[in-house]
Structure 1
Amino acid sequence: MQDIIKTIFTESIQAQIAAAEVLSDALESGALAIAQTLLNGNKLLCCGAASSDMLAQHFAGLLVNFFETERPCLPAIALSNEQRQLSYASASEELDIIARQVRAFGQSGDMLLAISIDGYEKSVVSAVEAALTKDMKIIALVGDDGGELTGLLGPHDVEIRVPSKRPARIIEAHLFNLHCLGQLIDATLFPQEDLA
């Protein structure tokens, strides 16, 4: 059992080191894009499917409340992945539940932060497609080869792709990357604060 535990830790550390080698530019671009969106008076919509949904809620909460230092509230909304919000949804609408919220709340100039393990989750892909019809920019946190989400991204969008195929390592890296984005956004928007 001890060997298994050490192997899990080692694998996680190695995944983080590999991510650090390739993601610094994407994280910087993502943080600056979110900060600019907020400075322009727009909002950030956050979504994810399955286990990524909790990460979307966590990140929106960090922006609305605060990350590590108190500061003014920032406009971020976690889109619900729960079907009970649409009590009269048909079967096809249930698959499209996040996209419906993007169409309801998203406006031109807003940004969608889409969190996915492999880029193939249909609800997240549909949400990105809906955001593109609203002229919203996209930040996609994905893993593996990026899946369908990668093909939807344009030159002004940001892809933060974790170089791993293991879902557990991807989720761990997504959480770390979201915390990194939170700290960078705070440092950009509130530079007088000591947020390092």
Structure 2
Amino acid sequence: MSTEVSSVAGHCDELLDALKEFRASASLTEHWGERLVTVLAGGGRLLVAGNGGSAAQAQHLTAELVGRYRDDRPAFSAIALHADTSSTTAIANDYGVDEVFARQVSAHGRPGDVLMLLSTSGASANLLSAAEAGRAAGLRVWALTGPAPNPLVAGSDEALCVSAGSAATVQELHLVAVHMVCAAFDAALERKVN
């Protein structure tokens, strides 16, 4: 029993340590929220992708923008690329799993749109291909990753990196970042309307 308690407490300690460091660079989420207002209110879209738990975080972000975060507001175009299972599986079958997001970015992305990629490792080949496709199509590429340096940071225009020893803690702080982006988006939208 004491091993379980110390393991749980250790997880909380790791999260607290990572949060302290994360907070210093989290102002980037405010910039991203403000930038998304310009893009999305101007008719552009946000494309988001991740694998595994990061896919869940990506879909959480798009749900908050298409639906709402806290207060009622218009819907905005945000697409979680992994959520289209027919396209995802067809692309993986016909072109290989490394192209599963890149092909969708090429199809849906337009110059000026934003592509946000979430990865605990920053080394997933399908996300690196998506970043390359996004840059080629004129999208702004943002990355939420685990510790830097990593290849996804190098392939992105802007990145927010979480320095933590476990993927679970990275994902927990990615959710914090998602909520901070949404809060900044709503605040910037409110300023734009008023």
Structure number having the greater helix percentage: 2
Contact 2:41–2:76 under 8 Å retained in 1? no
Contact 2:113–2:139 under 8 Å retained in 1? yes
Q: Deviations over 1:26-58 (max 9, x none)?
A: 222222222221132211011112221111111
**TM-superposed deviation, 1:21:** 1.9
Q: In the aligned structure 2, how far is the partner of 1:129 from the partner of 1:87?
A: 21
**TM-superposed deviation, 1:108:** 0.9
Q: In the aligned structure 2, how far is the partner of 1:68 from the partner of 1:109?
A: 26
What corresponds to 1:176 in structure 2? 176
Aligned residues: 189
Closer, same or farther: CA 4–88 of 1 in aligned 2, 3 Å: closer
Q: In the aligned structure 2, how far is the partner of 1:117 from the partner of 1:146?
A: 12
Closer, same or farther: CA 176–91 of 1 in aligned 2, 3 Å: same
Q: How many percent of aligned residue pairs carry the same amino acid?
A: 27
Q: Deviations over 1:52-92 (max 9, x none)?
A: 11111110010000001111101111102676434375464
TM, length-normalised to structure 2: 0.89
What corresponds to 1:10 in structure 2? 13
Q: Report the 3-state secondary structure (helix = DSSP H, G, I; strand = E; otherwise coil) of the residue aligned with 2:90.
A: coil
Closer, same or farther: CA 102–21 of 1 in aligned 2, 3 Å: same
Is 1:101 the equivalent of 2:104? yes
Contact 2:25–2:160 under 8 Å retained in 1? no
Within 5 Å, which residues of 2 pair with 1:47-126?
47-80=49-82, 84-85=86-87, 86-87=89-90, 89-90=92-93, 92-126=95-129
**TM-superposed deviation, 1:93:** 2.7
**TM-superposed deviation, 1:124:** 0.8
Contact 2:92–2:98 under 8 Å retained in 1? no
TM, length-normalised to structure 1: 0.88
Q: In the aligned structure 2, how far is the partner of 1:192 from the partner of 1:81?
A: 31
Closer, same or farther: CA 167–84 of 1 in aligned 2, 3 Å: same
Residue in structure 2 matching 1:45, options 44, 47, 54: 47
What corresponds to 2:167 in structure 1? 167
Unaligned runs of 5+ residues in structure 1 are none
Q: In the aligned structure 2, how far is the partner of 1:54 from the partner of 1:19?
A: 21
What corresponds to 2:23 in structure 1? 20
RMSD: 2.0
Q: Give the residue type in structure 1 aligned to 2:181.
A: L
